[in-house]
Structure 1
């Protein structure tokens, strides 16, 4: 009777081996399927690519839009430049622009998007970068409170690791369903998203409390906490070195409402001015570059009807800014041909 447990051990070991091999097989099968389906259409597998953008947020849609060869110009930033309509820039400059801005991002995420775009566009016709207050952080890591799928725009090992997570598995199934649906919806291929309706639906421009918040003066505390040097300088220098010298680069200091400007001569005002000055200085290392500066006290910045909140402006102002960006691109292209 004592030999019975020993006689069953091989059976248990065999069961455990089969179970382990089954798990490994299922995992390998899923990973192979995910790579084949390419849930966010990164172009790593073109078997099921259909040349259309599946409806999704800008964080993941930047992978498919950023690799689209049809768009030789790009706008990169966050919601502070997201109302720049790429089709309008295209009409004014003759360059097909894509809007690659991702809300709630800082320079680390934005440069990741830029790197991805440059991987797929060796000679861009023009680049527009938005340099807002997040660029002037003290921490060289530029930490963000919001997650970002760096793995989606990374190398193959990072991409494979990224696929091993529940949201990616869910999106693999979702993309399969989208591909099989003959009436599937598609998103704007150029990334245009007019979020004005979203703001209006939340009471911005109408709600008395939100109007009052718009008029609240900025606090005296300095942000950033010193006058430089700022970490953005070296990071921007490195990114500019990757951009061909024949590519016009326009850096935009986006508008903020006048009440959001720190008092002249305050530590915060001096620090922000020093940061923008360093961005300008570094930008000169690129032969075809310029700044479109909307932090220079323009009268439109004092009009409350042009803003939802202190850092998000409305479409009429965005159209003016679009024209200025287009003019800057055209000037730089003219310099290139002289």
Structure 2
């Protein structure tokens, strides 16, 4: 006797597939709703009302929301050479609330996009500090991205395209982590103002190991000899020019050439030194087009850049040097700082 509900009955399979698809769609919708409501990066227009500290190791995701936060009215931009600067050490001098939005290996394009987000959210910022290094003085074609993912939708004027980024395994993972932080189940790994120490603790500094990673300073070179600039096209500086020009006049704006280790700087008379001098010349011209813009140059032979024990590697300096840079910025908050052995004042 044959069964009327044989497993080969097409209707049975049709109902099974329909139920499976419906269950899957409901599950996906529930997960998506969870991610969107938690909004792990703080970029969506509708989400659970709660503070969202940075949680992602890729700051390109984490900082788009931080740049929009109304807890800040001033910002630091740059690569990892600016990450050692502590917002809390600048707030009082500038009468502002800083966020450090510097990102590891950030291209000039990525920095400019983050700057756009900050300025749209803060049309009257108190201060802007932009760190300059080799990224801005690159004579090659403009590099937009690095191997790190850059979510362009997070940086658009409209928040709605960002919803497209919420349906991914990465979004689910970060939503779970953010929810754990929001509910007190997990401590945030990164500072709520963007500052997080990413270098080893000072008590783990090994001078011999650090020195082994530093290019040697060329022997017998007179570093006081000036190098004439060689006219060079630096595509990133077009972005810097726009950023400086768009910064409101009342915002204190400081551009800082960072103190790269002297052995990684071009020796006087070399092609690298000539290009660096022309980059500085063009930055000064950009600054002079906007009244009150300050340019500090730590990227030069100095007591900082000559001493190997000041560095972890050719780009990253130690805490004591960060404090010296912070002190110069505090002085520049109200007036043009005095010239010192550590840096030159290139503008105004």
What TM-score comes out, normalization by structure 1 length? 0.82
Q: Contact 1:251–1:292 (CA<8 Å) still a contact in 2? A: yes
Superimposed CA distance per residue, residues 206-233 of structure 1 (whole angstroms, 9 cap, x where no aligned partner): 42xx413324258xxxxxxx95221112
Q: Secondary structure at the match of 1:128?
A: strand
Query: How big is the shift at 1:310?
Result: 1.5
**Counterpart position of 2:57:** 57
Tell me how far apart the structure 2 counterparts of residues 24 and 194 of structure 1 sit (CA, whole Å). Answer: 42
Unaligned runs of 5+ in 2: 1-5, 219-229, 337-348
Change (3 A) 1:180 1:261: closer
Deviates more, 1:170-179 or 1:312-321: 170-179
Tell me how far apart the structure 1 counterparts of residues 164 and 231 of structure 2 sit (CA, whole Å). Answer: 40
Q: Secondary structure at the match of 1:175?
A: helix
Tell me how far apart the structure 1 counterparts of residues 54 and 195 of structure 2 sit (CA, whole Å). Answer: 14
Tell me how far apart the structure 2 counterparts of residues 24 and 267 of structure 1 sit (CA, whole Å). Answer: 61
**Counterpart position of 1:73:** 74
Change (3 A) 1:300 1:177: closer
Deviates more, 1:63-72 or 1:13-22: 13-22
Change (3 A) 1:214 1:328: same
Tell me how far apart the structure 2 counterparts of residues 91 and 205 of structure 1 sit (CA, whole Å). Answer: 34
Identify the match of residue 292 of structure 1 among 273, 291, 296. 296
Q: Secondary structure at the match of 1:84?
A: coil
**Counterpart position of 1:211:** 211
Q: Secondary structure at the match of 2:248?
A: coil
Q: Does 1:42 align with 2:19?
A: no
Tell me how far apart the structure 2 counterparts of residues 204 and 227 of structure 1 sit (CA, whole Å). Answer: 41
Q: Secondary structure at the match of 1:301?
A: coil
Change (3 A) 1:316 1:177: closer
Superimposed CA distance per residue, residues 148-172 of structure 1 (whole angstroms, 9 cap, x where no aligned partner): 3444444435412211221111122
**Counterpart position of 2:341:** none
Change (3 A) 1:237 1:44: same
Question: Which structure features the higher share of helix residues?
Answer: 1
Query: How big is the shift at 1:292?
Result: 1.0
Query: How big is the shift at 1:173?
Result: 2.2
What TM-score comes out, normalization by structure 2 length? 0.79
Q: Contact 2:262–2:305 (CA<8 Å) still a contact in 1? A: yes
Q: Does 1:193 align with 2:196?
A: yes
**Counterpart position of 1:156:** 159
Deviates more, 1:276-285 or 1:159-168: 276-285
Count of residue correspondences: 317
Deviates more, 1:84-93 or 1:151-160: 151-160
Identify the match of residue 256 of structure 1 among 252, 257, 260. 260
Tell me how far apart the structure 2 counterparts of residues 312 and 179 of structure 1 sit (CA, whole Å). Answer: 33
Query: How big is the shift at 1:299?
Result: 2.4
**Counterpart position of 1:147:** 149
Superimposed CA distance per residue, residues 94-123 of structure 1 (whole angstroms, 9 cap, x where no aligned partner): 222121111221212222221221122111
Q: Contact 2:137–2:237 (CA<8 Å) still a contact in 1? A: no
Superimposed CA distance per residue, residues 18-59 of structure 1 (whole angstroms, 9 cap, x where no aligned partner): 54444444333332322111122336334241x352654360
1:274-313 alignment to 2 at 5 Å? 274-313=278-317
Change (3 A) 1:249 1:89: same
**Counterpart position of 1:223:** none
